[in-house]
């Protein structure tokens, strides 16, 4: 079958790989129809994550039709249209029962080699094997656009978790550092949680325009603090969501945050360490939290929001193209010529 794989030198190619087979009674095989290109995929391609070899099948966002199920699977059947998640979890362990699925000892992250657990072949392919199918797969609502549903696998859960964990409340002023798709959806989630105004900071003008199209303010990075000061009589943002995944992004978030405020970092960090301004953060009583999206925990609510049409503006930020155009699609995302691309298979 066709799949998008890493070349090992910073690129991708379309290759022929073996079709997946059921390996456990809890497995399902899904015929992939839509699969997204995510910022984490770029980290994999660019060699930022350990445990990834050349030829790794990429992708962790997918919507499709169930082709086969193991004998223990009860929640889906052959022929069902389903939406997946970016990582798998058993659904029964201590962490899973506490809704901490990312900490599941049996977690595996699709398409990232052994960077986050056992290797699991990615979903940018014609078919994908899904362990713990009863936990991982959810029925795709009939009236939900499948390309929009791709956002429920990773990008929207990440932005939603940022808004939820930071405890944004009605009237809060929120800043988002980084206008990639996670940042855009974090801004949307902040609105849904009651923020009075959301300011998205990004150096790319197209990303600024995307933020304003979904009802937010937008600014270049060097204008973020002055903009917030104008909005808050000099205090700064109540909550700052860092959606870049870098020390520079965290530095900018801390500067933008008001005394007593909260910084939440939600992008995948590949740097081993960061020079944290401890004395300043202590004096200003800054809360710093690292958050990883959990679609298994939040999916029911997110599906309801998507079906209601509240993600429709975000759908307009996405492009769609055929899997055979994946090489160009990766280049477009990497060079900020496109915000989000969904591949049709």
Pairing label, strands 62-69, 81-83 = antiparallel
- What phi and psi, each to the nearest 5 degrees, are found at residue 221? -55, -40
Tokens found for residue 16: 């022929």
Burial 210-241, CB ≥16 within 10 A → b, else e: bbeebebbbbebeebbebbeebeeeebbbbbb
Query: Which pLDDT band, with edges at 50, 70 and 90, does 272 fall under?
Result: confident
Nearest 5°: the CA angle 327, 330, 334 is: 140
pLDDT at position 182 is 95
Q: What percent of the chain has pLDDT over 90?
A: 92
pLDDT of 51 > 90? The answer is no
Quickly list H helices, the chain.
39-45, 94-97, 133-136, 146-150, 155-165, 181-192, 205-213, 224-232, 247-256, 278-283, 295-307, 312-315, 326-334
Pairing label, strands 318-322, 340-344 = parallel
- Tens of pLDDT, residue by residue over 5-34, are 999 999 999 999 999 999 999 999 999 999
pLDDT at position 316 is 87
For residues 320 and 245, the model is more confident at: 320
Domains of the chain: 2-154+294-344 (3.90.180.10), 158-290 (3.40.50.720)
- Tens of pLDDT, residue by residue over 99-153, are 999 999 999 999 999 999 999 999 999 999 999 999 999 999 998 999 999 999 9
pLDDT of 50 > 90? The answer is no
**β-pair partners for 3:** 15, 125
Rounded to the nearest integer, the mean pLDDT of the chain is 95
- Tens of pLDDT, residue by residue over 164-211, are 999 999 999 999 999 999 999 999 999 999 999 999 999 999 999 999
How far CA 115 is from CA of 40, 93, 107, 331, in Å, comes to 11, 21, 11, 23
- What phi and psi, each to the nearest 5 degrees, are found at residue 45? -65, -40
Q: How far apart are CA 217 and CA 198, in angstroms?
A: 6
CA atoms within 13 A on the CB side of 88: 25
Tokens found for residue 40: 């984490």
Q: What is the pTM of this model?
A: 0.93
């Amino acid at each position: 079958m066709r799949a998008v794989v890493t070349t090992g030198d910073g690129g991708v190619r379309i290759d022929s790989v073996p079709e997946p087979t059921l390996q456990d009674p809890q497995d399902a095989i899904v015929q992939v129809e839509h699969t997204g290109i995510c910022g984490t995929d770029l980290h994999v391609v660019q060699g930022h994550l350990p445990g990834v070899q050349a030829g790794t099948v990429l992708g962790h966002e997918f919507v499709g039709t169930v082709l086969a199920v193991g004998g223990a699977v009860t929640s889906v059947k052959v022929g069902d249209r389903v939406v997946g998640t970016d990582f798998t979890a058993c659904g029964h362990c201590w962490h899973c029962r506490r809704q901490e699925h990312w900490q599941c000892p049996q977690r595996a992250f699709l398409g990232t080699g052994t960077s986050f657990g056992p290797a699991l072949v990615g979903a940018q392919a014609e078919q994908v094997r899904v362990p713990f199918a009863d936990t991982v797969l959810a029925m795709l609502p009939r009236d939900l656009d499948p390309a929009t549903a791709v956002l429920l696998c990773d990008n929207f859960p990440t932005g939603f978790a940022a808004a939820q964990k930071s405890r944004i409340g009605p009237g809060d002023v929120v800043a988002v550092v980084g206008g990639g798709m996670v940042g855009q959806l974090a801004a949307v989630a902040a609105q849904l949680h009651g923020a009075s105004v959301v300011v998205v900071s990004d150096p790319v003008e197209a990303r600024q325009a995307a933020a304003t199209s979904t009802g937010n303010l937008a600014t270049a990075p060097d204008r973020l603090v002055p903009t917030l000061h104008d909005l808050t009589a000099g205090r700064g943002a109540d909550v700052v969501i860092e959606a870049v995944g870098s020390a520079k992004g965290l530095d900018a978030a801390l500067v933008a945050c008001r005394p007593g405020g909260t910084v939440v970092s939600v992008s995948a960090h590949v740097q081993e360490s960061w020079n944290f301004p401890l004395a300043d953060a202590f004096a200003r009583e800054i809360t710093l939290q690292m958050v990883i999206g959990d679609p298994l925990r939040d999916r029911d609510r997110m599906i309801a929001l998507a079906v209601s049409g509240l993600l429709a503006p975000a759908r307009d930020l996405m492009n769609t193209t055929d899997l055979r155009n994946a090489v160009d699609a990766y280049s477009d995302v990497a060079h900020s010529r496109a915000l989000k691309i969904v591949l049709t298979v």
